[in-house]
Chain A
Amino acid sequence: MFASDLHRQIQRIFEEVLGADQTEEQGWYPALDIYETANDIVLLAEVPGMKESDFKLNLDNNVITISGERKLEVEGRRLSRQERPAGTFKRSIALPDNIELDAVKAVYSRGILQITLPKKAAAKPREIAINVV
């Protein structure tokens, strides 16, 4: 697949999936960066102050859904000003169909959840033997 096709496909699906997702769901949306390298598509979600057990990752039909709940209340502390988002969140991202779904990896570090989605090895050029008849 050409990179531009992939790009177009991702853009198109973002509109479909994320557009619908945001109108239907309550709560907040972690900021999301998505970049692509030769080998991977990488999603970075900003979800500071959470634990790995607070997240759920779901892969279904080439759509990855990141959901979780951010709990900020601490016993014995009275909140006097709140700007930080809390509560449940959910974001879905449609993936191109060249993702190696079994090799998806997620790491949580410094408040960022990084999900690495390796691309399938592209069909390699090969030589075809010519049979002389």
Chain B
Amino acid sequence: MTSKAMTKPVTGWLQSPFFSWGGWPSEFVGPKADIYETDDGFYLAMDVPGMSEDSLKVRYENRVLTVSGERKQQEIEGARYHRRESFIGRFQRSFSLSPETDPDQIKAELKDGVLTIFIPKKEAAKPRQISISLG
């Protein structure tokens, strides 16, 4: 399988009606994410600064991977805001996965405000070397 064919599986950035961003420009549709591919699978890296693992949810159902969460306003005693560009509120983003991925082995990790989800390819979908036998 060519690399080009394999980039297809993790696409379909479904627009979601669940966004509720306080004070954000309308073009802001959710936390920004990158998708990388390796021989073994796909990495979805999403910027979620300031969020804890308790406020994030990663769910898989029917070949759709959904990341949702809520970022609450931090209450600081006596604080007066001069500028507020960070988002507050709930979000949800969904990604459709190809049948060539292995949903049982999906792993998620949160580090330095980045949520990284690894979606492995099924063994049969991984690139492999085919040995040539002499006839």
The residue on B at minimum CB distance from A77 is: B36
B35 close to A36 (CB less than 8 A): no
Q: A42–B68 Cα gap in the complex (Å)?
A: 29
B47 close to A49 (CB less than 8 A): yes
The residue that A46 contacts in the complex, of B76, B80, B111, B113, with Cβ under 8 A, is B113
Contact with A along B78-114 (1 / 0, CB 8 A): 1111111111000000000000000000000001111
Sorting the interface of chain B by its residue count into under 10, 10 to 19, 20 to 34 or 35 or more gives 35 or more
A110 close to B34 (CB less than 8 A): no
**A-side interface residues, number (CB < 8 Å):** 38
Contact with B along A20-49 (1 / 0, CB 8 A): 000000000001111111100110101111
Chain A residues proximal to chain B, CB less than 8 Å = 3, 7, 10-11, 14, 31-38, 41-42, 44, 46-51, 72, 74, 76-85, 108, 110-112
Chain B residues proximal to chain A, CB less than 8 Å = 3, 7, 10-11, 32-38, 42-43, 45, 47-52, 76-87, 111-114
